[in-house]
Chains A and B, each alone.
Chain A
Amino acid sequence: MSPRTPGADLPEHPDSLWRSPEPERSYDVVIVGGGGHGLATAHYLAKNHGITNVAVLEKGWLAGGNMARNTTIIRSNYLWDESSAIYEHALQLWEGLEEDLGYPILFSQRGVLNLAHTLQDVRDSVRRVEANKLNGIDAEWLEPDEVRKICPVVNTSTDIRYPVLGATYQPRAGIAKHDYVAWGFARRADEAGIDLVQDCEVTGFDTDGDRVTGVRTTRGTISAGTVALCAAGHTSVLTDMLGIRVPVQSHPLQALVSELLEPVHPTVVMSNAVHVYVSQAHKGELVMGAGVDSYNGYGQRGAFHVIERQMAAAVELFPVFARAHLLRTWGGIVDTTPDASPIVGRTPYDNVYLNCGWGTGGFKATPGIGSALAHTIAHDEPHPYVAPFTLDRFVTGALVDEHGAAAVAH
């Protein structure tokens, strides 16, 4: 790695990214939530289906939810066929996204190591690698000395509390700059004529039988042909208004960054067992995420002991981080589900689609869910990539258990 000034290769922003229109009184499609998923859905509605009479309603500011609070890890090494299909679809879109959006997103395919610390971890990891290979996803099992070659700063000595017994490795995985991703999608959607309406909170719904006819907002009532809920951590607040029960629980999820450092960490390292995942962002800060706070919470903040525990784990795994200073911590609100898989698709209302339950891992899915949800809306038929993730599966029992690959406790 060549030395460089931190931040030197970050691009300049354009003067203007999107309009800030007054909402119209009616749209063909109303998307609730201006995070990554809502914005990506808007982009693909326009790009792939020519549907542009669309509004994205956002109660705060674009990407002010989880979208610009996540640790930006992108990978597709999930266990089950259903999950690897949608996450791999997303990863392939990431590979061409900068060109599609005409906007720099700093997508860096630097690989991800998922560490195994116990014999059971090793067995589960090897199983996952084999499952990934069968699905055509790049995956390898690495022994500790190979882990050290890829990421020399990981402590692979045998005398630590949770020794590294090996890792799965996905070379095509990586990170991107989350706010630029949101802005790139927003700019394209805006150019296509889609209204991005900020400071516009959905406060209720007008219904007529099994259809929603209007969306009540802090900026007036807006009638809608189709409604797509992309509200992540606030999904239950909206589904409660509609009288739909959804098995999600909202938890605080915290992350932190260190001060800017010279490049020391070339890849992404995740550890399920000790609840830490680390990469080094383009400017040089170490970015680390924790496990969820145990209690339900809508506060966009969590408890400090969770950060302390995460730092202890990080310093044990990366002794070189011991003198790095913590710069900033923050939290988002993640919508967790019983099987650690998302819930996407139809609701009891004919014209309302649900997209939630991505929990701690929905950033990587952003282009994939955007395109699949846009297709679902355009054809009024769940796209095959989202079809397995119905609300119904909790009744039929067809769960997609990804607790192992989802990588943090929830």
Chain B
Amino acid sequence: MQLIACPWCGPREEVEFSYGGQAHVPYPDDPGALSDEEWAHYVFFRANPKGRFAERWKHSAGCRRWFNAIRDTATYRFERVYRLDDPKPVIP
């Protein structure tokens, strides 16, 4: 089974984690000011790249904390895990 390195607990089996989709999608500063289209994009539209993707994960059956990861959606390899308050890492 694939091991995922929780930033707090270290490597654990994939079944302990749950997926949270695209990371770095902030709640709009002024939701009332959004057009219908902008609101739809905030609610329904997420990036879906083939390759590196910045995602949210949660160590549900462990420390129960959220974190972010850069993972390759074609190979499923985790390239980085980082805390929610860290900026998105730049990988060469």
Q: Find out whether the CB atom of B49 lies under 8 angstroms from the CB atom of A236.
A: yes
Q: How far is the CA of A24 from the CA of B50 in the complex (A)?
A: 29
Query: Is B27 engaged at the interface, CB distance under 8 Å to the other chain?
Result: no
Q: Find out whether the CB atom of B49 lies under 8 angstroms from the CB atom of A303.
A: no
Contact A395/B37 with A234-B50, A240-B49, A250-B48 known, Cβ cut-off 8 Å? yes
**1/0 per position for B48-79, CB-CB distance to A under 8 A?**
11100101000000000000000101111000
Q: Which residue of A lies closest to B41 (CB)?
A: A245
Q: Find out whether the CB atom of B48 lies under 8 angstroms from the CB atom of A248.
A: yes
Contact A249/B46 with A303-B14, A394-B40, A395-B36 known, Cβ cut-off 8 Å? yes
Q: Find out whether the CB atom of B48 lies under 8 angstroms from the CB atom of A297.
A: no
Interface size on A, residues (CB 8 A): 23
Q: Which residue of A lies closest to B18 (CB)?
A: A294
Q: Find out whether the CB atom of B1 lies under 8 angstroms from the CB atom of A305.
A: yes
22 contacts between A and B (CB under 8 A): A237-B49, A240-B49, A245-B41, A246-B45, A247-B46, A249-B21, A294-B19, A295-B73, A296-B73, A297-B74, A298-B50, A298-B73, A298-B74, A299-B73, A299-B75, A299-B76, A303-B2, A304-B1, A305-B1, A305-B15, A338-B44, A395-B37
Kindly name the residue among B21, B48, B55, B71 whose own CB sees the greatest number of chain A CB atoms within 10 A: B48
Q: Which residue of B lies closest to A250 (CB)?
A: B48
Q: How far is the CA of A359 from the CA of B80 in the complex (A)?
A: 29
Chain B interface residue count: which class?
20 to 34
Chain B residues with Cβ below 8 Å from A250 are 48, 50, 73
Q: How far is the CA of A247 from the CA of B25 in the complex (A)?
A: 14
Q: How far is the CA of A294 from the CA of B49 in the complex (A)?
A: 16
Chain A residues with Cβ below 8 Å from B40 are 394-395
**1/0 per position for A379-402, CB-CB distance to B under 8 A?**
000000000000000111000000
Q: How far is the CA of A338 from the CA of B42 in the complex (A)?
A: 13
Chain B residues with Cβ below 8 Å from A304 are 1
Q: Find out whether the CB atom of A394 lies under 8 angstroms from the CB atom of B50.
A: no
Chain B residues with Cβ below 8 Å from A240 are 49
Distance in angstroms from A329 CB to nearest chain B CB is: 15
Chain B residues with Cβ below 8 Å from A294 are 18-19
Q: Which of A234, A299, A394 contacts B44 (CB 8 A)?
A: A394
Chain A residues with Cβ below 8 Å from B76 are 295, 297, 299
Chain A residues with Cβ below 8 Å from B74 are 297-299
Chain A residues with Cβ below 8 Å from B21 are 249, 296
Q: Find out whether the CB atom of B45 lies under 8 angstroms from the CB atom of A245.
A: yes
**1/0 per position for A230-265, CB-CB distance to B under 8 A?**
000010110010000111111000000000000000
Q: How far is the CA of A297 from the CA of B55 in the complex (A)?
A: 12
Q: How far is the CA of A298 from the CA of B74 in the complex (A)?
A: 5
**1/0 per position for B1-45, CB-CB distance to A under 8 A?**
110000000000011001101000000000000001100110111
- 7 additional contacts, CB 8 Å, given A246-B45, A305-B1, A396-B36? A294-B19, A295-B19, A298-B50, A299-B74, A299-B76, A394-B43, A394-B45
Q: Which residue of B lies closest to A302 (CB)?
A: B76
Q: How far is the CA of A294 from the CA of B47 in the complex (A)?
A: 16
Q: Which residue of B lies closest to A239 (CB)?
A: B48
Q: Which of A234, A296, A395 contacts B53 (CB 8 A)?
A: A296
Q: How far is the CA of A240 from the CA of B47 in the complex (A)?
A: 9
List the 9 closest pairs (A to B, CB-CB), nearest first: A236-B48, A294-B19, A395-B40, A247-B44, A298-B50, A247-B45, A394-B44, A295-B19, A394-B40
**1/0 per position for A275-315, CB-CB distance to B under 8 A?**
00000000000000000001111110001110000000000
Kindly name the residue among B45, B53, B71 whose own CB sees the greatest number of chain A CB atoms within 10 A: B45
Q: How far is the CA of A249 from the CA of B53 in the complex (A)?
A: 12
Distance in angstroms from A275 CB to nearest chain B CB is: 15
Q: Which residue of A lies closest to B45 (CB)?
A: A247
Chain B residues with Cβ below 8 Å from A249 are 21, 46, 48
Q: Which residue of A lies closest to B50 (CB)?
A: A298
Q: How far is the CA of A52 from the CA of B53 in the complex (A)?
A: 40
Chain B residues with Cβ below 8 Å from A299 are 73-76
Q: Find out whether the CB atom of B55 lies under 8 angstroms from the CB atom of A295.
A: yes
Chain A residues with Cβ below 8 Å from B50 are 234, 236-237, 250, 298
Chain A residues with Cβ below 8 Å from B14 are 303, 305
Distance in angstroms from B77 CB to nearest chain A CB is: 10
Q: Which residue of A lies closest to B14 (CB)?
A: A303
